[in-house]
């Protein structure tokens, strides 16, 4: 993502020429996807138009009905789409989603294209990619989807849920939900009942549970005409499922308190517990009025366990006096992954209950600082950022603790923190207060995160506030040099741990400071650089002379 528009456009042209001239080169496939697809988010409209036109000529124009004698260009397109459909490429699917939105506005998604993509769903090597593309297109092409095609595929893939059928099943559920209003009423009602029956088993993985609940909500919306009717339709299946979850999770506590095990704690069926816990978080959003206080208390108490699968001593403690009633859970053995999921569920419950949020936030911050497991730290940080949207004032004092995650040892946690903080700042849920800007800008020194950090700073945040780098530059000089005697600059509070993690003072960090200053200056206008010269002389020069 070069700063010069002409360079970005030329890179797009060059990469696209290479990949079309050498369609069999797998390395070029990934380079093209990683280099070209993000440009659909470019801040310059002309760059967006260019990349959409390029994607159309390379992808859309080469999608034809399936046959065993496909041309090389057609096979090449499905190799690209198969990469997009891989489980760990959510970033690419986000760009494809944006591209389909723009294509829909231009009228590029017609019935012939939909029928061509549908024909590839029966061909196993293309199946996952075809359903992924259909899922992204479905909200714009619902009128072209055949009810029998959708229903038959649902029946086929839902009959036996396995690792092979799970990914297509999630995408099929997405298609059903997006196209619900255009499908035959009888088919919608049948699929609704079958999806509920599938959920009642609590045997499908969380990714399917999430897609199924979302789809059920969309089907209910398509079958009702009022908000009251919709809520009644949702409660009809949501409340019994919530009750089942409550009974199961309560049984964990009751069985454990009756257990005679004095060592090791009770081992639980982790897959089963994961399904129930995850379902609670999804269901409580749709039916908050029927989420009982006892269920909330039970989820609290799951986090009171004093023993995890690897012997970790958690920092989470009682959230209310009521929790002591469930102290029998303290021998229950939790794996780190199940504990991490429990925090996500607790966070979703907090979004429906402000009083609960007040009690939980300090405990979440403590867990963020002390948990040795990256999955737990990541999920707690995600919960805090979600709560910052709903309860900004309550979370704002803890933003410095969240920002510390930008120095986490886990790349997943660092990247997730950067993404969520950028989103919160962009939407004005949090401000550039205290050390937040300096924490954010220092991610440019993280070699694993540098490119993404630059994208967030330049194409998301600077595009929204063109004066941002100019306004903070002088204080950057004081902060990164560790100078704390100025009457205004670098006067915010920091813990000793924060100082150590983010310190760039001293001669050994000189080159790193120069890299940051150079980056900031390279993204300023000439008038800003001119004004900055005077400010540096006035503020920094005076301090050096005192």
Give the whole-angstrom CA distance, residue 114 versus residue 178.
14
pLDDT for the residue numbered 307: 45
pTM: 0.85
Range 406-425 burial, b when 16+ CB lie within 10 A, else e:
bbbeeeebbbbbbbbbbbbb
pLDDT tens column, 484-537: 777 778 788 888 888 888 999 999 999 999 999 999 999 999 999 999 988 888
- Classify residue 457: in a domain, yes or no: yes
Q: From CA 543, how far away is CA 210, in angstroms rounded? A: 57
Q: What is the pLDDT of residue 536?
A: 87
> For position 318, what pLDDT does the model report?
43
| 68 confidence band (pLDDT: 50, 70, 90) | low
Confidence label for 311 from pLDDT (cuts 50, 70 and 90):
very low
Mean pLDDT of the chain: 88
Q: Measured between alpha carbons, how far is 467 from 389 in angstroms, rounded to an integer?
A: 25
Q: Please give the average per-residue pLDDT across 461-477, as a whole number.
A: 92
Task: Compute the CA torsion angle 238, 241, 243, 248 (nearest 10 deg).
Answer: -160
Tell whether 43 is covered by a domain: yes
What distance in Å separates the CA atoms of residue 281 and residue 273, rounded to the nearest whole number? 13
Query: Is residue 510 domain-resident?
Result: yes
123-165 pLDDT, tens digit per residue, is 888 999 999 999 999 999 999 999 999 999 999 888 776 666 6
Q: Which residue has the higher pLDDT, 338 or 264?
A: 338
What letter does residue 114 receive in the DSSP assignment? H
Contact 216, 191 (CB under 8 A): no
Nearest residue to 64 (alpha-carbon basis) of 15, 133, 113, 27: 113
SS3 content of the chain, % helix, strand, coil (to 5): 75, 0, 25
- Among candidates 414, 421, 403, 423, which has minimal Cα distance to 449? 414
Name the band, by pLDDT with cuts 50, 70 and 90, for residue 259.
low
Rounded CA-CA distance 110/112 in Å is: 6
Residue after which a domain boundary falls, among 93, 109, 125: 109
Q: Which of 84, 109, 134 is the last residue of a domain?
A: 109
Residue 470 lies in a domain: yes
Within-domain flag for 161: no
Could you tell me the residue range of the domain that residue 38 belongs to?
1-109
Sign of CA dihedral 232, 235, 237, 240: negative
* Alpha carbons 443 and 211: distance in angstroms, whole number: 34
DSSP 460: I
Domain membership of residue 207 (yes or no) is no
Contact (Cβ atoms closer than 8 angstroms) between residue 502 and residue 543: no
| DSSP-assigned letter for residue 353 | -
Report percent pLDDT > 90 for the chain: 65
Place of tokens 């124009």: 61
What φ, ψ does residue 334 adopt, rounded to 5°?
-115, 135
Residue range 211-242, pLDDT digits in tens: 999 999 999 999 999 999 999 999 999 999 99
Overall number of domains in the chain: 2
Q: Are 1 and 454 in contact (CB under 8 A)?
A: yes
pLDDT tens per residue across span 424-460? 999 999 999 989 999 999 999 999 999 999 989 998 8
Q: Which of 74, 109, 144 is where one domain is finished?
A: 109
The pLDDT of residue 261 is above 50: no
pLDDT of the residue at 541: 65
Cβ atoms 312, 375 nearer than 8 A: no
Cα 416 → chain centroid: 7
Determine the length of the chain: 546
Q: Is the pLDDT of residue 324 over 60?
A: no
Cα(73)–Cα(79) distance, integer angstroms: 10
- The whole-number average pLDDT for the span 88-111 is 92
**Per the domain annotation, does 81 fall within a domain?**
yes
- How far is residue 348 from each of residues 19, 123, 286, 454, measured CA to CA in Å? 44, 39, 11, 31
Query: CA-CA distance, 193 to 87, in Å (whole number)?
Result: 28
387 strand-pairing partners: none
How many other CB atoms are there within 10 angstroms of residue 481's CB atom?
A: 16
Residue 532: HSE in the Cβ half-sphere, 13 Å Cα cutoff: 22
**Is 516 part of a structural domain of the chain?**
yes
């Amino acid at each position: 993502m070069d700063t010069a528009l002409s360079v970005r456009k030329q890179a797009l042209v060059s990469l696209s020429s290479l990949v079309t001239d050498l369609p069999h080169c797998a390395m070029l496939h990934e380079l093209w996807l990683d280099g070209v697809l993000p440009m659909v988010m470019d801040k310059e409209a002309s760059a967006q138009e260019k990349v959409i036109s390029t994607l159309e000529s390379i992808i859309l124009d080469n999608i034809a009905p399936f046959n065993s004698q496909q041309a090389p260009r057609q096979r090449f397109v499905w190799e690209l789409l198969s990469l997009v459909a891989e489980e760990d490429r959510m970033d690419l699917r986000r760009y494809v989603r944006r591209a389909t939105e723009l294509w829909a506005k231009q009228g590029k998604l017609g019935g012939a294209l939909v029928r061509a993509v549908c024909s590839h769903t029966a061909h196993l090597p293309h199946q996952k990619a075809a359903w992924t593309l259909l899922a992204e297109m479905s909200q714009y092409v619902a009128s072209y989807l055949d009810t029998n095609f959708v229903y038959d595929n649902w029946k086929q893939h839902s009959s036996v849920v396995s690792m092979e059928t799970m990914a297509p099943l999630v995408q099929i559920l997405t298609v059903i939900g997006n196209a619900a209003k255009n499908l035959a009423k009888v088919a919608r009602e049948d699929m609704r009942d079958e999806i509920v029956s599938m959920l009642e088993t609590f045997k499908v993985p969380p990714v399917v549970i999430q897609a199924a609940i979302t789809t059920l909500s969309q089907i209910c919306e398509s079958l009702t005409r009022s908000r009251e009717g919709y809520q009644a339709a949702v409660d009809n299946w949501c409340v019994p499922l919530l009750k089942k979850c409550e009974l199961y999770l309560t049984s964990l506590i009751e069985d454990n308190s009756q257990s005679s095990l004095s060592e090791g704690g009770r081992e639980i069926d982790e897959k089963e517990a994961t399904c129930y816990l995850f379902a609670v978080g999804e269901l409580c959003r749709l039916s908050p009025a029927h989420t009982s206080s006892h269920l909330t208390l039970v989820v609290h108490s799951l986090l009171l366990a004093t023993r995890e699968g690897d012997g970790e001593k958690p920092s989470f403690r009682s959230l209310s006096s009521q929790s002591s009633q469930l102290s029998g859970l303290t021998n229950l053995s939790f794996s780190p992954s199940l504990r991490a999921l429990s925090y996500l569920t607790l966070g979703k419950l907090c979004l429906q209950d402000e009083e609960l949020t007040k009690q939980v936030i300090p405990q979440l911050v403590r867990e963020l600082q002390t948990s040795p497991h990256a999955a737990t730290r990541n999920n707690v940080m995600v919960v805090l950022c979600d709560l910052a949207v709903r309860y900004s004032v309550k979370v704002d004092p803890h933003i410095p603790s969240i920002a510390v995650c930008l120095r986490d040892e886990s790349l997943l946690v660092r990247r997730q923190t950067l993404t969520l903080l950028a989103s919160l700042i962009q939407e004005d849920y949090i401000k550039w207060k205290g050390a937040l800007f300096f924490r954010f800008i220092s991610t440019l020194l993280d070699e694993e995160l540098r490119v993404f950090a630059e994208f967030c700073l330049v194409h998301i945040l600077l595009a929204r506030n063109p004066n941002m780098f100019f306004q903070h530059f002088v204080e950057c000089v004081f902060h990164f040099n560790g100078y704390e005697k100025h009457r205004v600059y670098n006067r915010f509070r920091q813990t000793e741990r924060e100082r150590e993690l983010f310190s760039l003072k001293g001669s050994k960090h000189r080159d790193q400071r120069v890299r940051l200053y150079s980056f900031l200056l390279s993204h300023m206008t000439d008038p800003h650089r001119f004004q900055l010269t005077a400010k540096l002389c006035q503020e920094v020069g005076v301090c050096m002379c005192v």
